[in-house]
Chains A and B, each alone.
Chain A
Amino acid sequence: AQSVTQLGSHVSVSEGALVLLRCNYSSSVPPYLFWYVQYPNQGLQLLLKYTSAATLVKGINGFEAEFKKSETSFHLTKPSAHMSDAAEYFCAVSDLTNFGNEKLTFGTGTRLTIIP
């Protein structure tokens, strides 16, 4: 089964500083990878996804992630943090079921705090 590992359950950065959230995957086949964001007391929403079209993926709100097969990584970055980026971020990998739909396996999440 495929899995993802998120290093660092809590990350704090100053407003305007670089945001780097780490995700490593374990997969025997080329994976489909996702980053979702969860704002307080809300559901998850998709930030970006990797589907093998391009290794550098741009998402919403200025976030991007780079797929590195040699490092089995899909780290999320943003050049300049904003107060509104404070949220929990989840990396996920998908598996196809026998029915043909996808199941997502999530990492344990990283809570991002922005310091004014």
Chain B
Amino acid sequence: NAGVTQTPKFRVLKTGQSMTLLCAQDMNHEYMYWYRQDPGMGLRLIHYSVGEGTTAKGEVPDGYNVSRLKKQNFLLGLESAAPSQTSVYFCASSARLAGGEGNEQFFGPGTRLTVL
């Protein structure tokens, strides 16, 4: 059971380049999330998905797009990278439980992205 995995682990981009970060989970979780972590700011939610083909914006969605074509995968895209997108990106997943709240999110190891 690998849990949540992220590809790649590190990446350096030039301003204006595009890239896709891949998140995969093998726990059959319904919900998946993308966060960014910046020093002194904690984790902030970029986008999330509640199932195949259904995504929604989080707190800081601008400059990012997402897709969830398969239940186990959640992709985060940067169409035209900017230095402000230099960050560590974390993917997380959680199960759908009866009763709704208090549900644990399981996190991947992160992708460190630098935009020059």
Q: Which residues of A contact B (CB under 8 A)?
A: 9, 32, 34, 36, 41-46, 49-51, 90, 94, 96-97, 99-109
Min CB–CB distance A76 → chain B (angstroms):
15
Instruction: State the total of A-B contacts with C-beta under 8 angstroms.
Output: 77
In the docked arrangement, what's the CA distance between A107 and B42, Å? 6
Of B48, B58, B96, B100, the residue contacting A96 (CB under 8 A) is B100
Residues of B near A90 (CB, < 8 A) are 42-43
Tell me if B105 is interfacial: C-beta within 8 Å of chain A: yes
Residues of B near A50 (CB, < 8 A) are 102
In the docked arrangement, what's the CA distance between A42 and B37, Å? 12
Residues of B near A34 (CB, < 8 A) are 104
Q: Which residues of B contact A (CB under 8 A)?
A: 4, 30-31, 33, 40-45, 48, 50, 54, 56, 58-59, 90, 92, 94, 96, 100-105, 107-110
Determine the residue in chain A with the shortest Cβ distance to B105.
Answer: A104
Residues of B near A109 (CB, < 8 A) are 40, 42
Residues of A near B30 (CB, < 8 A) are 101
Determine the residue in chain A with the shortest Cβ distance to B95.
Answer: A101
In the docked arrangement, what's the CA distance between A103 and B33, Å? 9
Among A34, A44, A51, A101, the one with the most B-chain Cβ atoms within 10 Å of its Cβ is A101
Q: Contacts A44-B107, A49-B104 known; A97 to B43 CB distance under 8 Å?
A: no
